[in-house]
A and B are shown apart, each in its own frame.
Chain A
Amino acid sequence: AQTVTQSQPEMSVQEAETVTLSCTYDTSESDYYLFWYKQPPSRQMILVIRQEAYKQQNATENRFSVNFQKAAKSFSLKISDSQLGDAAMYFCAYRSPSPHAGNMLTFGGGTRLMVKP
């Protein structure tokens, strides 16, 4: 079974600075999908960014980018020019390509990001 680990329970960043959230995962599959979801205090899960394992190029979405290291099974999220609205819980998630997995997402334990004005 796949596991996803986020080793940083909490992170703090100054507004306008850059922060990197870590995620590692364990899998025997060669092709899969990785995601970062944001959960603000409203508690709705919002997709931030997605990475397909077969793509070597790191995904980017505006101020959000990932550092995907397939051999190391590492998938970190970099937030540039941090804004107060970025304060939230961030979850890393893994999805197997196997049709038998039912498209389920396996989540890490989350990292709470605080943004200081």
Chain B
Amino acid sequence: EPEVTQTPSHQVTQMGQEVILRCVPISNHLYFYWYRQILGQKVEFLVSFYNNEISEKSEIFDDQFSVERPDGSNFTLKIRSTKLEDSAMYFCATSEAGALWTQYFGPGTRLLVL
């Protein structure tokens, strides 16, 4: 069964550094999302992306965050200058055009900012 994949699985970075989290969507999926889950808390929506544009973003998704699909396969989340509070599990999810009601999640990237 096709799966969403994410790399890296774990990343440790110093505060103020830039990080790029990568996601490879299921091949025929055109809608992409990022969510995050701070340890012990709810899963929170960050951003949705379709047709090379952001469809919707939450209050969390401020100017330090950006998303792009640089090569038609990968979908990336960039955090420009990481803060301690960015430490979380970041999940990529994707859905296909004919079935937007179902999002398939990747295994997540655990980001630790020191």
Contact = CB atoms under 8 A, between A and B. Distances in A.
Interface in A87-103: 91, 93, 95, 100-103
Contacts of A102: 47-48, 55-57
Interface stretch (B18-26, B37-45, B70-78, B79-87): B37-45
A110 B95 contact: no
14 contacts: A43-B110, A44-B107, A45-B108, A47-B105, A50-B101, A93-B43, A95-B101, A103-B31, A103-B55, A104-B33, A104-B48, A104-B58, A105-B33, A107-B42
A106 interface: yes
B13 interface: no
A49 B57 CA distance: 26
Given A35-B102, A43-B110, A104-B56, 4 more contacts: A102-B56, A103-B55, A105-B33, A109-B42
B100 interface: yes
A101 B103 CA distance: 14
Contacts of A47: 102-105
Contacts of B103: 47, 103, 105
Interface of A: 33, 35, 37, 42-47, 50, 52, 91, 93, 95, 100-110
Contacts of A107: 42-44
Interface of B: 31, 33, 35, 41-45, 47-48, 55-58, 89, 91, 93, 95, 100-108, 110
A46 B105 contact: yes
Contacts of A43: 89, 107-108, 110
A91 B107 contact: no
B102 A45 contact: no
B18 to A, nearest CB: 24
A102 B95 CA distance: 12
Given A44-B108, A103-B55, A33 B42 contact: no
A35 B45 CA distance: 15
Given A44-B106, A44-B107, A106 B45 contact: yes
Contact of A42 (B41, B55, B91, B107): B107
A45 B110 CA distance: 14
